[in-house]
Structure 1
Amino acid sequence: MSINNNVLIKIRDMKDSLTPVERMVADYILENTEEIPHLSIKALAQASKTSDASVLRFCKTMGYSGYRHFIVSISASLGSRDEDQKAQYTDIQPGDNLSTIISNISLNNCKSIEDTLSVIDREQIAKAVEALRSSKRIAFFGIGASGLVCMDGEQKFSRINKICHSYTDGHSQLTAATLLEEQDVAIFVSNSGETVEILDALDIAQRNKTKCIAITKYTRSELAEKADIVLSISTPELTIRSGAMGSRIAMLTIIDILFAGVASAEYEHVKVHLKKTHNILLKKHRH
């Protein structure tokens, strides 16, 4: 179950990986959201030029047991949409003044986190925290901007005396994955879920029976299909101008949640390490 269940965000993010017929249903819903709660399954099928069975299959693909359950979620999502419409993602525009840039970037980052709360699964988070708690060591795998997220994870978990390392290039990832063991946990970070180097390392890790956690966008991808635990993020569909800003913020939020989950569950044990690392850094700043 997601934390803030907004089915419209789920449909937007999942749309490109749906079958052609399911996409026809998704497109109609996204373009006619206000009328959807008033439509029967037959009416939606006719309006989207599909069939009753296709609409039902679409509902199940989106994680709902039936059409009624789906419609209730659509109604709830519409209830919160008025606020959302005041806060839409905005891409970088040529010649924007600094005031506009400050406002837009802050808004985009806030929206990335808020939308991620609509697609992330609370049960998957719980499983990930449990796996990290019982792990012998943690390995983070990511390329480019995702690699920066891995480095943040290494920095955080090192503070509570977890043996961990981030691997941010293809060669070191293959070597590290080869040496993973069953008691280890591997965290694979990829927005697309289709990064070749990440998938190669994942295959090796799984052959070693290592528990594999994916942090990736909410869609059907090879990484999401193969990983043992999937922590989904939602990011704006913007152009290359804004790069990986939104996805990076969402991924860093997931890392923070995992770190806080482990640290909180083991607080009596880790507070000693937190205090030591805090004090040594404080002493360094004073000199």
Structure 2
Amino acid sequence: MAFFGYNDAKTLVGVDVAIYDYILTHETNIPLMHVRDLATGAHVSNSSVMRFVQKMGYSSFPEFRIAFHKQSLEASPDLESGVQLLTAETFPSTLQRDLDTVAHRILDANNVIFTGTGSSANVAEYASRLTSTLGVNSFPVTDPYYPLIPQLKQTTKNVLITLSVSGQAAEVLGMLRQFQNDPTVTLISITGHRDSPIAKLSTTVLTYHTAERRIHGHYDLTSQLPAMTIVEALARTIRRQAQLPHH
């Protein structure tokens, strides 16, 4: 996507080029990122990112993110608006029943871990923050080689929730297999493929239907909106089951 227009892009120099190139190759992640995430990914400073954002005509990073996401949706040839990503066919009729089951397990758990890689890692971090706000002892693991077994060694009620559109992420799958016969860990997945390897390892699968999109063979443009919708529905279900007040 030629964001900002070609005439603006060709005038960029120095660190701005690195930031611009990173944005173009991580389009689906940008709406979920913070300034420090973009700075780390592009190997520049936070202040360099903010100067870049201001050069592009935006007063803040959130304003930039919203504008970028809007243009991404408008540039998609088969979508008239982002609303079309969610239809009656996106989620199965059993979703709320499964959400109730997962919410119950979460409220009964000592630890809740959300994990994923790529753009799913951003959703995992969001899910962890959202459920932590509800009083759940939750944390994200976005490194599939993180030493999770020692951390859970002295605990008995753990819920490990994996986010993966394809349900086939090899590194994540390797981590999950370490827990598949562990009675202290309940495996749950949020995935676009109910018959995937990750889903088959899970006790409960929160599933959805979405078209996977890639460019240049490996850059993933698949929408994370269905997964985000499930995460937010799960948070509402947790709040209802815990009878937390609405404000």
Q: Alpha carbons of 1:264 and 1:219: their partners in 2 closer, same or farther (altered >3 Å)? A: closer
CA distance in 2, matches of 1:111, 1:120: 21
1:243 matches 2:243: no
Which aligned pairs between 1:44-123 and structure 2 lie closer than 5 A?
A: 101=74, 107=80, 109-114=82-87, 115-118=89-92, 121-123=95-97
Query: Of residues 125, 149, 155 in structure 1, which corresponds to 2:99?
Result: 125
**Alpha-carbon deviation of 1:186?**
0.6
Q: What is the deviation of 1:99?
A: 10
Give the unaligned 5+ runs of structure 1.
1-97, 276-287
Distance 1:110 1:177, change over 3 A: farther
| Matching residue of 1:264 | 240
In structure 2, what is the Cα distance between the partners aligned to 1:256 and 1:100?
21
Residue 228 of structure 1, CA deviation: 0.4
Q: Secondary structure at the match of 1:188?
A: strand
Q: 1:234 aligns with which of 203, 209, 225?
A: 209
Change (3 A) 1:219 1:263: closer
Q: Which has the larger radius of gyration?
A: 1
CA contact (8 A) 1:125 1:258 kept: yes
Match among 139, 157, 173 for residue 131 of structure 2: 157
Pairing 1:187-266 to 2, within 5 Å after superposition? 187-209=161-183, 210-240=185-215, 243-246=220-223, 248-266=224-242
- In 2, Cα distance between the equivalents of 1:100 and 1:109? 6
> Number of residue pairs matched?
171
Alignment of 1:23-34 (within 5 A): none
Query: Kindly tell me: are residues 107 and 161 of structure 1, through their superposed partners in 2, closer, same or farther at Cα, counting changes over 3 Å?
Result: farther
Contact 1:129 1:262 in 2 (8 A): yes
- The residue type paired with residue 221 of structure 1 is S
Q: Per the alignment, do residues 120 and 232 of structure 1 end up closer, same or farther by CA in structure 2, a change over 3 Å counting? A: farther
The alignment's C-alpha RMSD in Å is: 2.7
TM-score (norm: length of structure 1) = 0.53
Native 8 Å contact 1:120 1:233 kept in 2 = no
Q: Which amino acid aligns with 2:240?
A: S
More helix by share: 1
Task: Report if aligned partners of 2:123, 2:227 keep a CA contact under 8 Å in 1.
Answer: yes
Taking only the aligned residue pairs, the percentage that are identical comes to 20
Shift of 1:182: 3.5
**Equivalent position SS for 2:145:** helix
Q: 2:108 aligns with which of 106, 121, 134?
A: 134
| Structure number with higher relative contact order (C-alpha < 8 Å, ≥ 6 residues apart) | 1
